[in-house]
Structure 1
Amino acid sequence: MGMHARPLSSSFGVEVIDFDPNNITDEVKQATKLLFENHQLVLFRNAGVTEDQHLALVKAIGPISTTDEIMKDGRQFTYISNVHTDGRVPNGELFYHSDHMFLREPLKGISLYSIEAPEHGGETRFLNAAKAYQAMPEDLKKRIDGLSARHVYDYNANRGDQRPDPTKLSDKVDTAIYPLVWHHPESGTPLLYISRLFTTEVIGLPREDSDQLLDDLFAYLDTIGDDYTHKWKSGDLIIWDNLHLQHARNDFPPTERRALRRVPIALGSA
């Protein structure tokens, strides 16, 4: 018997309404994969999955990515947390982005499972990068046609609520260049591929022109707004397409506990 799901937004996402974590059959795995491919985001509210159950669902969609340094020791997940001693990006706001835009091997998808959720703030917001490009005014589309941008992450300088300053980057910086209109490597869908969190320059343009074009693109994205905002509760599980969608995080009081188990999904067949 297949899973039943209902839409979360007008452009992507579904919520599974009859999930049983103790009955993750091959049929359930295949259904999850199809929902992911067709809707780009799959939500299981109050899923209550164990580590092994979480991994089983994710591996139905694709292999676990090991491109991140912290994953190269054989780990299969990390924590986004201010609770765990090895938790990453523990506090504060995060601008819209796709994870690993600054690496040559981008992530196909991401899965987060909520272990503890703050009462106030800490929501994850989602934006459809494919819809953003499709709805873009034609004059702006022409301005970015054929252009590429650099994306960086400086572990010493990057902040989640500020654009990176290209004049203050250290030598410990990860960087990658992608077309501003990048086609999804599996579906071929054109995506607007920029981020306030990581994008520093448009290649081949003078600094002033590059800054102006990025400002105009970010201003355009601001007019679109969020497509879906998820208010986390303990036990919630989400798997989403990291390229088709961008995500952001609302600020939350640092005194509140927030912990999510994160599993990164690599490009490639499951």
Structure 2
Amino acid sequence: MTNETLRIEPLSPALGARISGVDLSRELEEEGWKAIEKAFHDHSVLIFPAQEITVAQMKRFCQRFGELLVHEHLLPFTLEGHPECMRLHNDAQRPPGLNTWHTDNSGWARPPLGTVLHSRILPELGGDTLFSSMYQAYEALSPPMRELFERLGAVHDTRKAFGPDYASLQRSLSKNGIDADKHFAHHEPVEHPLVKTHPVTGRKALYVSAPYVTHIRGLSKAESQALLDFLYRHIETSEFIYRHRWSKNDLVIWDNRCTQHLAVADYYPRERLMYRMNIADGARN
């Protein structure tokens, strides 16, 4: 692969680009990798169509971005011999889980840099994934609101994300032998700033994730909830969003530091199978 064969096609003004002319079953040459890395930082979400790859080849590509994470509570959902690869399998017996806007694993001190999905089985209809640019969400705020949010931090708690508020996730873990209450009982909440500066691009982005956030530090309960409700509606603004309609063997990678996503659960009870990997972020807040 050379830069002459690699093509980058933006998919919306806000974020997202299709990368063609790439075969991820083969080793990437350095020139091609540098072009992909730049596109990742330019567009936040990259789509690689028609990638017939093995799990080992998927891992090799993901590891170009960083170390792959192993999540202890997700081990029952992973592929044998590949603890980094989660098997997201939904059908009539396994309903879809989280059907709300979020960024992955924000309840940890160092959330993942990025997430990668490879589509294996798709429903005939439905199952799209929406992505929202948190760069755009921040930049669309008025200067006084930017200044306010830049001074504030939100508390993120895994016990909320895997608690009764999101019972489908709790039930899914329980069916696979994990008691979420016990597993996360000693997992301390963490605080993340409501506005983060991306370590590579230098752009500011909103950082909030509804399943995990319990409150904004230093505000009254009413003040905190009013601001959070505003942010949750604000990130849904159409101009910030790219909607991806999946095709079989699409590989999609997104930057958790500057995006949120929503996996639309409208395909139930049809079958959908995705392989997922999380890439570790070595940078501190």
TM-score of the aligned structures, taking structure 2 as reference length: 0.80
In the other structure, the counterpart of 1:156 is: 163
**Aligned CA distance change for structure 1 residues 251 and 160 (closer, same or farther; 3 Å):** farther
In the TM superposition, what is the alpha-carbon distance from 1:160 to its structure 2 partner? 8.3
In the other structure, the counterpart of 1:196 is: 210
1:236 pairs with 2:250: yes
Tell me the distance in 1 between the aligned counterparts of 2:221 and 2:253.
Answer: 37
Tell me the distance in 1 between the aligned counterparts of 2:146 and 2:167.
Answer: 27
1:51 pairs with 2:55: yes
* Contact preservation (8 Å) 1:33, 1:60: no
Tell me the distance in 1 between the aligned counterparts of 2:127 and 2:98.
Answer: 8
Tell me the distance in 1 between the aligned counterparts of 2:21 and 2:150.
Answer: 44
Map 1:182-193 onto structure 2 (within 5 A). 182-193=196-207
In the other structure, the counterpart of 1:178 is: 192
* Contact preservation (8 Å) 1:160, 1:197: no
In the TM superposition, what is the alpha-carbon distance from 1:93 to its structure 2 partner? 5.4
In the TM superposition, what is the alpha-carbon distance from 1:225 to its structure 2 partner? 5.3
Of residues 61, 70, 74, the one that matches 1:70 is 74
Query: Secondary structure of the equivalent of 1:127?
Result: strand
Map 1:1-270 onto structure 2 (within 5 A). 1-2=2-3, 3-27=6-30, 28-66=32-70, 68-70=72-74, 75-82=83-90, 90-91=95-96, 94-154=99-159, 155-159=162-166, 172=184, 174=187, 175-224=189-238, 226-268=240-282
* Contact preservation (8 Å) 1:109, 1:239: yes
In the TM superposition, what is the alpha-carbon distance from 1:69 to its structure 2 partner? 4.0
Query: Secondary structure of the equivalent of 1:222?
Result: coil
In the TM superposition, what is the alpha-carbon distance from 1:202 to its structure 2 partner? 0.7
**Aligned CA distance change for structure 1 residues 29 and 223 (closer, same or farther; 3 Å):** closer
**Aligned CA distance change for structure 1 residues 265 and 160 (closer, same or farther; 3 Å):** farther
In the TM superposition, what is the alpha-carbon distance from 1:231 to its structure 2 partner? 1.1
Tell me the distance in 2 between the aligned counterparts of 1:218 and 1:22.
Answer: 39
TM-score of the aligned structures, taking structure 1 as reference length: 0.84
Counterpart amino acid of 1:80? Answer: L
Superposed CA deviations along residues 204-225 of structure 1, whole A, max 9, x for unmatched, are 1111111111122223223345
RMSD over aligned CA atoms reads 2.8
In the TM superposition, what is the alpha-carbon distance from 1:185 to its structure 2 partner? 3.9
* Contact preservation (8 Å) 2:129, 2:263: yes
In the TM superposition, what is the alpha-carbon distance from 1:170 to its structure 2 partner? 5.6
Q: Which runs of 5+ in 2 are unaligned?
A: 169-179
Q: How many residues are paired up?
A: 259
Query: Secondary structure of the equivalent of 1:235?
Result: coil
Counterpart amino acid of 2:68? Answer: I
**Aligned CA distance change for structure 1 residues 170 and 143 (closer, same or farther; 3 Å):** farther
Tell me the distance in 2 between the aligned counterparts of 1:138 and 1:100.
Answer: 29
Counterpart amino acid of 2:163? Answer: N
Tell me the distance in 2 between the aligned counterparts of 1:74 and 1:237.
Answer: 18
Tell me the distance in 1 between the aligned counterparts of 2:67 and 2:218.
Answer: 36
Query: Secondary structure of the equivalent of 2:27?
Result: coil
Tell me the distance in 2 between the aligned counterparts of 1:176 and 1:79.
Answer: 27
Query: Secondary structure of the equivalent of 1:213?
Result: helix
**Aligned CA distance change for structure 1 residues 20 and 74 (closer, same or farther; 3 Å):** closer
Query: Secondary structure of the equivalent of 1:63?
Result: coil
* Contact preservation (8 Å) 2:24, 2:61: no
More helix by share: 2
Q: Percent identity?
A: 26
In the TM superposition, what is the alpha-carbon distance from 1:23 to its structure 2 partner? 3.3
Q: Which runs of 5+ in 1 are unaligned?
A: 162-168
